[in-house]
């Protein structure tokens, strides 16, 4: 690596400034393996990750004047390994993981048992997004297999400079730039609207304690895809419809009296489509923003059509980069991004992120779709995204071995665990309606 310092992109500065003890800007993935992974090869593979993903071993240097910069190769990502019978060292704390000025923003924890191994990966959102963490995990598993003696040819790592220059994915034609400008204005105006606030469950902010979880099984996933095709829609359109319908029913039960009846849904849209070829784990997300009136969320057929039309329009006109464009403009004002992040006026009700099929191909994947490593087979995958101060619920959907894995994180300062469970049950009910064609 020829360079030792690199400026943070606007999206990286957003998450760096917006980290809070009560709302850590983390992404967490949990992997369960049926079997016992080998410790020494795994540790050697872990030590090679920074060579392929340099930001995993970087810290942030802040400057009195000018942008913060990444100091590359300044810290090693921490890995804790607990064998069965050993004293538990504990999980990585939010403070340890997310103080990017002193610690690397990537860490792992392994709980090794006699017949099962559990691996948790944590990454600061300034270092990678959800799709990027999947790429890091894929490289980690391939490096581990190579350390165990399996002949695997890994793709060459992407060059960091080119990754950073394309991190916002603004690859639009000339005719789309006017729409991009209007999209930035649109995003900044809506960013000053107040939407539904679900405060009142707690008097003060609490540390995040854990997500409510639900999962759909193989047959249910197939039926969801069949139902989406019947309506000439995508599975993502159907999920957007169902999560909005669930929010409508749920808000009727739990909405704070007197709150405005606007619901904001944020759908991360991956604009870095070619980065999987270069193994680029840097943030490459635009955000599609959808707002609805609570009373309009009860019409399921209309919601599906509107979800499809909204996403087609956003993608066709380049508006999915409005979020990145707004951050880019604020980046010209010293401290502008930090002030925007700290602003408490706007609230989004929920975020829906669909990771799609994970670990579905590669030399370690069997014909039945199972990811098999030396010593163990991946049996379960779960992932959670960060609840920001403006987000009450974060829904992550992924598919492994044709099984849908739906995980819900919630902000305990905004809603209670019982309310989050109510939302999970209502979302499950809406999915059941979709599977039966209602």
50-65 pLDDT per residue, tens? 999 999 999 999 876 6
For residues 363 and 395, state if they share a domain: yes
Sheet of 26-35, strands arranged across: 78-83, 106-112, 116-124, 26-35, 376-384, 372-373
Residue 217 and residue 141 share a domain: no
Last residue of a domain, one of 164, 189, 209: 164
pTM of the predicted protein model: 0.83
Question: Nearest-CA neighbor of 105 among 81, 134, 71?
Answer: 71
DSSP state letter for 93: P
Structure tokens at 190: 């809506």
Are 246 and 194 found together in one domain? yes
Q: Is there a single domain that holds both residue 27 and residue 58?
A: yes
Tell me which of 110, 133, 164 is where a domain ends: 164
Do 141 and 22 lie in one domain? The reply is yes
Which of 6-20, 235-249, 423-437 shows the lowest per-residue confidence on average (mean pLDDT)? 6-20
Q: Are residues 149 and 33 in the same domain?
A: yes
Which residue would you say has higher pLDDT here, 186 or 300?
300
Instruction: Say if residue 149 is exposed, middle or buried (CB neighbours under 10 Å; 0-12, 13-18, 19+).
Output: exposed
Check residue 207 and give its pLDDT: 44
Extract the runs of DSSP E, i.e. beta strands, from 104-217: 106-112, 116-124, 212-215
Using the 3D structure, point to which of 164, 198, 222 is the last residue of a domain: 164
* 407: pLDDT strictly greater than 50: yes
Instruction: Report the mean per-residue pLDDT for the chain.
Output: 76
Among 172-186, 224-238, 319-333, the range scoring the smallest mean pLDDT is 172-186
Q: What residues make up the domain containing 286?
A: 169-435
Give the Cα separation of 6 and 71 in Å (integer): 7
* Mean pLDDT lowest among 209-223, 362-376, 383-397: 209-223
**How many folded domains does the chain comprise?**
2
- Selection from 107-116, 290-299, 326-335 with the highest mean pLDDT: 107-116
Mean pLDDT calculated for residue range 101-119: 91
Asked if 138 and 233 sit in the same domain, the reply is no
């Amino acid at each position: 690596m020829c360079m030792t310092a690199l400026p943070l992109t606007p999206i990286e500065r957003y998450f760096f400034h917006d980290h809070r003890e009560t709302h850590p800007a983390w992404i967490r993935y949990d992997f369960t393996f049926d079997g016992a992974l080998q410790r020494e090869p795994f540790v050697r593979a872990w030590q090679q990750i920074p060579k392929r993903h340099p930001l995993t071993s970087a810290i942030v240097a802040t400057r009195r004047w000018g942008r913060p910069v990444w100091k590359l190769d300044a810290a090693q990502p921490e890995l804790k390994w607990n064998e069965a019978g050993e004293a538990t060292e504990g999980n990585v704390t939010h403070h340890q993981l997310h103080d990017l000025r002193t610690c690397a923003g990537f860490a792992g924890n392994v709980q090794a048992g006699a017949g099962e191994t559990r691996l948790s990966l944590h990454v600061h959102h300034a270092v990678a997004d959800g799709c990027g963490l999947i790429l890091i995990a894929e490289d980690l598993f391939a490096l581990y297999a190579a350390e165990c003696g399996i002949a695997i040819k890994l793709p060459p790592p992407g060059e960091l400079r080119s990754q950073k220059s394309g991190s916002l994915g603004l690859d639009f034609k000339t005719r789309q730039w006017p729409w991009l400008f209007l999209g930035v204005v649109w995003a900044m105006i809506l960013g000053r609207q107040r939407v539904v606030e679900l405060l009142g469950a707690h008097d003060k902010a609490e540390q995040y304690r854990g997500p409510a979880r639900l999962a759909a099984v193989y047959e249910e996933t197939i039926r969801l895809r069949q139902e989406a095709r019947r309506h000439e829609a995508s599975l993502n359109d159907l999920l957007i419809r169902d999560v909005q319908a669930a929010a409508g029913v749920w808000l009727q039960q739990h909405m704070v009296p007197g709150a405005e009846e606007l619901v904001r849904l944020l759908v991360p849209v991956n604009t870095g489509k070619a980065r999987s070829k270069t193994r680029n784990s840097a943030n490459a997300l635009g955000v599609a923003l959808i707002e609805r009136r609570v009373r309009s969320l009860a019409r399921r057929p209309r919601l599906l059509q509107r979800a499809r039309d909204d996403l087609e329009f956003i993608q066709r006109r380049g508006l999915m980069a409005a979020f990145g464009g707004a951050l880019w403009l604020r980046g010209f004002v010293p401290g502008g991004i930090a002030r925007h992040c700290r602003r408490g006026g706007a609230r989004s009700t929920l975020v829906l992120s669909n990771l799609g099929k994970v670990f579905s191909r590669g030399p370690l994947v069997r014909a039945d779709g199972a990811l098999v490593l030396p010593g163990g087979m991946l049996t379960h995958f779960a992932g959670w995204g960060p609840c920001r101060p403006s987000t009450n619920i974060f829904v992550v959907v992924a598919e492994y071995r044709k099984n849908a894995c739906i995980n819900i994180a919630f902000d305990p300062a905004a809603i209670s665990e019982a309310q989050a469970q109510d939302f999970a049950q209502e979302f499950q009910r809406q999915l059941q309606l979709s599977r039966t064609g209602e």
